[in-house]
Structure 1
Amino acid sequence: MAETDKEWLARLEAESRAKQEAFMNGIAQKLKRPRVTEAPKHPFRGAPDFWNEFEWSLDERIERFSENWRSVGGHVARLAGMDDARAFIAAKASEMGARYIVRQNEPELASLHLEEALPDAVVSVWNTDSETHWKARSAEADFGVVMADYAAAYTGSVTVLSSKDKGRSVSLLPTVLMIVIPAQRLKTRLGEILVEFDRAGRENLPAGIHFISGPSRSSDIENDLTIGVHGPGIVYALIVG
C-alpha cells in the first residue's frame, strides 16, 4: 500500500533526525567527551554590575567620544552654545560652497536661524511642505542638520530617532552631515541609551532608531575601504553646552 503524504513527510522527518543524531554523536566521539543534550543554563541576564556602575565624568565623556569619533574619520567641534553652532555651520557652508541645506523640523534647530545665517543658500525644513519630495530634497542637499537624541562616549556613537518631523533621509542622504549634540545627552555607555527604549515599551518606540558612528564606511567590494557610499562622507559632531 502506497504511503500517504502525511506518512511520507513523517518518514523523512524521522530519517533527518536520525542523521542529525548520528552527526552530533560523531562530533562528540571525536572530541572525546559526552554529548551535551540539554541547553546550558544562563542564570545571569544583562550586563554585570560593575559595567552598569561604570561612568565617566562629563569632561571624560567628551574627550573619549571625540577620540572615538575622530578615529573613524569624523570631525568634532566643542561649542559653548547654539549661537556658536550657528556660526560654525554657516562658516563651513561658506567654506564648502553649500547651497542647499535641509534640517530636521525641531525647535532646537529652529533656534539656529540658519535662514538668516545663510542668506545665499536654500534652507529647507523636513516635512513642512506636503508638495515637496523630501527624499529627493535631502539627496540633493549639500548639508543635513540633525539633533542628536543621545550619544555614547564609549563607542563614539550618536543616536538619532525618526518621526514625521525627523526623517532619516536628513542624516542619510546629504553630502555633509552636521549633528548637534547637547552635552547633557552624552552618556558613557550604549546601555544607558538602550534601556530608555525598554522603558518606553514597544508601543512607544519611534519609527526608526539610528546609530551613527562617523562617516559612511564600506569595504563590501574586494575589501576596498570606501567613504561615503551608504551615507554622508563628511560628518561633524557639534558638542554644545
Structure 2
Amino acid sequence: MAESSRDAVLARIRQSLAQPAPLPPRPDFTAPVHPPLSNRDAVVAFAESFQRVGGEFYYCESLAHLAEQVASYQQRQQVGAPYVWEPQLQALLQTAGIAFRADETGFIEQADLSLTSCEALVARTGSVLISAATASGRRLSIYPDQHLVLARPSQVVAEIREALRVIQARFGEKMSSMVSLTSGPSRTADIEKTLVLGAHGPRRLALFLLEEDAENLPL
C-alpha cells in the first residue's frame, strides 16, 4: 500500500513537471503606480489629503485675509505671536500687519508657535516638504508645540517624486543638511497602541495657502 501511494505521488509530480505552469504576465513598468488623484485640481486634492492626515488647512485670498485667519487661529489656540526667522516671511507678515517674534529671545521657554515657508506641497499624501536651508533652520519646524506653514498654490505638486525634483533643481549637488516630508502633526502609538500627538515634534500643524497675486510678494 505504501509503495503504491509513493508511486501515485511521484506520478503526479512527473505529470506536473511535464506541463509547467504558465509564467505570470510581465508587469508594465511604465504604468502609473498610484490611481488618479481624488480631484483633478491638485490644490484641492492636497487640501483634502492634508486634512485627512490631521493638518489644518486655511485658504487666504489676500494679505488681509491671511491676517484674519492667523489672528483667528491664535485666538482659538490661545497662543502668542509666532517665531519667524525668514527675512522674506518677516517682510510679508509686516506688510500684512501680523505680529511675530523675529529673534530667539525666550525661544526655549516660550516656543509655542512658529511659522515657516516650505519647498513643496504633495497632493498625493498631503505632505509638506521642508528643508533646513532657510533661516528657519531645523528648529522652527520641529521644536515648537504648534507649527504654521505659509505657502502658495504654485508649490503644490502631485507626487513625492515631483517634490524631490523641486529640491534637486534648487540645491543641485549642495543639498540641504535636512529635508523632511511632514504629513500631519507629530504622532505615535508605540506605547500600548495609544495615539499620542506631539511625541517627536509639533502637536498641531496648520497650513495657510496664500493666493499667488496677493500683493505679489515672494515667500
TM-score when scaled to structure 1? 0.65
Counterpart in the other structure of 2:62: 81
For structure 1, the residue ranges without an aligned partner over 5 or more in a row are 1-43
Counterpart in the other structure of 1:165: 135
Offset, 1:51: 3.3
Q: Secondary structure at the match of 1:76?
A: strand
Counterpart in the other structure of 1:194: 164
AA partner of residue 101 (structure 2): S
Matched, 1:231 2:208: no
Matched, 1:124 2:94: no
Q: Please list, as runs of the form range in 1=range in 2, the aligned pairs for 1:1-241 lying within 5 A after superposition.
A: 48-51=29-32, 60-113=41-94, 116-118=97-99, 123-125=100-102, 132=104, 137=107, 140-163=110-133, 165-199=135-169, 203-241=173-211
CA gap 1:220/1:90 in 2 versus in 1, 3 angstroms = same
Counterpart in the other structure of 1:36: none
Counterpart in the other structure of 1:25: none
Larger relative contact order (CA 8 Å, sep ≥ 6): 2
Residues 8-56 of structure 1: per-residue CA shift (max 9 Å, x gap): xxxxxxxxxxxxxxxxxxxxxxxxxxxxxxxxxxxx9xx954439x986
Distance 1:138 1:110 in 2: 24
Q: Secondary structure at the match of 2:57?
A: strand
CA gap 1:48/1:139 in 2 versus in 1, 3 angstroms = farther
Offset, 1:110: 2.4
For structure 2, the residue ranges without an aligned partner over 5 or more in a row are 1-26, 212-219
Residues 147-179 of structure 1: per-residue CA shift (max 9 Å, x gap): 121010001101111126121211111122111
Offset, 1:117: 3.1
Offset, 1:186: 0.4
TM-score when scaled to structure 2? 0.71
Offset, 1:197: 3.8
Q: Secondary structure at the match of 2:184?
A: coil
Is the Cα contact below 8 Å between 1:61 and 1:153 reproduced in 2?
Answer: yes
Q: Secondary structure at the match of 1:51?
A: coil
AA partner of residue 166 (structure 1): S
AA partner of residue 75 (structure 2): S
Distance 2:136 2:30 in 1: 35
CA gap 1:59/1:91 in 2 versus in 1, 3 angstroms = farther
Q: Secondary structure at the match of 1:173?
A: coil
CA gap 1:57/1:229 in 2 versus in 1, 3 angstroms = closer
Distance 1:138 1:84 in 2: 30
Distance 2:119 2:134 in 1: 15
Is the Cα contact below 8 Å between 1:83 and 1:112 reproduced in 2?
Answer: no
Q: Specify which structure has the higher proportion of helix.
A: 1
Is the Cα contact below 8 Å between 1:148 and 1:159 reproduced in 2?
Answer: yes
Distance 1:78 1:156 in 2: 15
Distance 1:48 1:199 in 2: 25
Offset, 1:109: 4.3
Give me the identity figure in percent: 20
CA gap 1:146/1:138 in 2 versus in 1, 3 angstroms = farther
